[in-house]
Structure 1
Amino acid sequence: MWGARSGRRGPEGDTGGRAVSPVVGTALLLVIVVLAVVVAAQVFMKIGEEPDPSPDVVMDLEKGEFAPVHYLHHGGGDDLGGNGKTRIRGIANPDVLHDEELNAGDREEVIPVVPVDEEVQVVWRGDDGTSYVLWRFHPSSYLDRSVDEGCGWVAAETNDGSDPITVDGVVVNCDIITNGDIDVVNDAVIIGNATSLANNVDLDESVVYGPVNADGDVDLDGTNVSGSVDSDGSDVVLTDGSRVGGDVTIGSGGNVDIDGGSSVEGNVEAGNRIDLDSTTVGGNVVSDAGDVVVTDSTVGGDIKTDGTVDLDNATVTGDVYVDPGDFSCSDSTINGQDCGSYSPKDPDDY
């Protein structure tokens, strides 16, 4: 009914509560005061503590030849990395410095990174949990495709590195290392290296932001590789405008065939024959004992072989090291000279 009370009722006049004795009340108050003093002391001690000082660094993010690859350089100050404290936000692999140290002032020591955002931040976290943004960069370009798969997918597809794998049209942020064949097709992207420990690597209309290694053959068709290509097989083939940012190397008995407007930024080295047709090579072209044929192409360094050299409408910025009896050329320029007046160098002097 109206005016009724809820809760337990005791004897008449008793509202259901108990009175607290003065002694107990004083004791409770004392406990509360002591706890408040302890908590306040801890708070003030934390406030008084100095946070871990941030490293003093000067950093630079340099644009690479293969967009959007950039190179992180540590220009001066404290060393970074190797202790799990440094992360790089805005790149494909934020933990690239987790186990690797970046030393200050060493121009030869750079970390290749692939930005995936408009801003890249180098973040350092102290032992006390304090975080600092040490440096901010706005890369000239970044990968405008989202990452589809990571290392877990690679492990499942390769059966932990035993089976072949096909990467079809997706972006994979992981090194691919397996004993089986590696096929990368249909605008697929690998952020990492592609390594077949026992078989071939076939890249068709794709991109690898890293090196390519194979125990077997390597075939690039309309593909960009930011790193080097290294094979222990029989053939390395680049065609249809493929591009390699490092060297192309194949072991003894192996051949290299590059054509179709393809290019190599570094050197081309083979145990056997090298054929260049409508190609640009930035470095040297070296064969152990095979023939070197250069047609409608440019070589930015020297050519050397213990086999033969045949130049046709070629430009060689450096010299040609071959036995004079094994040298022929037409409509070509070597070290600024017309090939008709050029005398090749002794291969032993290379």
Structure 2
Amino acid sequence: MTIYLDHQASTPILPIVRDAMRPFWTELHGNPHSSEHSIGWSANKAVEAARSQVANLVGADPDEVIFTSGATEANNLAIKGFIIADDKKRRRNNILVSATEHKSVLESAAYIARTHGYSLLEIPVDRKGYIDLEILHEMLTEDVLLVSVALVNSEIGTVQSIEKIANLCHEVGAIFHSDFAQAPSAVDLSSYADLADAVSLSGHKFGGPMGIGALYLSRELRNDLEPLFHGGGQEAGLRSGTLALPLCVGLGSAAEFAASDGGAASRERISLLRDRFVNGLLSASPHIFLNGEDLDLRHPGNANLRFDGYDAGNILQRLQPMVSASTGSACSSGVTDPSYVLQAIGLTNNEAQSSIRFSFGHTNTSEDMQRATDALLALL
């Protein structure tokens, strides 16, 4: 049986989430926007319950949650929506993004800057992946419209000092957006919504289904966001289209678990498994190194390891079908260039090409860790 160590690419659905969704694939099939009969009312009630669960995850109010197809759409909606809306007034001209953002942030910002004439600037990071706050402070002028920095990095698991970043942004009146796709499986999010103006979530990154996500949008900025989809005016006119009822329910259930004591306990258990795996490898081979921050200060399921003198792609091929891991973000699949995230923290091309991201989740066991460790060491 394959040992799945790629949970940051996609987590298997939690059993409680699957159970919550099951009735909505069959007998509870109504359109949540049908307002003239009881089937539609029941569907709408389920959607609004899920919205409340997602809002609770990030410490927001339900009316501040917009359902999307995932974090990529949420990132596009936030970045493009704020800039298109501002373009009518043209009050500010600069956009700032960190050098290690997900491609959906980097490409959205690059596209909108290019097509609307804004200046796009990258915020550098240090060798552990943290934003250089002094440089950010210097870059933050009153000409900056939007800043986007992810709370948790998808490749090296760095957890940013969001409170400090948010304060710096708000001092100059800049909008602060953060991609939280990796965050629910990493940290308690209950206090974060008050810091960011907009936050993106993705269900399949924390035990929910694929194809569903959300954008938290501070109600104070609702009139400052231009929708990307136009149609029936769903989601307060900000995201038209019939909502996927079972997926909304699944996202809500996953959010409820992540915010619970059970979610906190799961993160702690995963951290212990990850530590056992990494420490076993580091102590057994002088060729293995940890990229980024120390284990206890990063995403509890993340381990980005460098195998000096080896090719990461070759290692992953030789591990098949026993162990599944990746060289970087799944959304950059098919790209053979070295990871831009690892290059941004100072790794050389060769070092980046010898690095593998192992990411752990609720399906992993102690036996998995030992088998995966043995399989890797047998290749070195």
Q: TM-score range by the shorter chain?
A: under 0.3
The structure that has the greater radius of gyration is: 1
TM-score, reference length from structure 1: 0.22
TM-score, reference length from structure 2: 0.20
Q: Which has the higher helix share?
A: 2
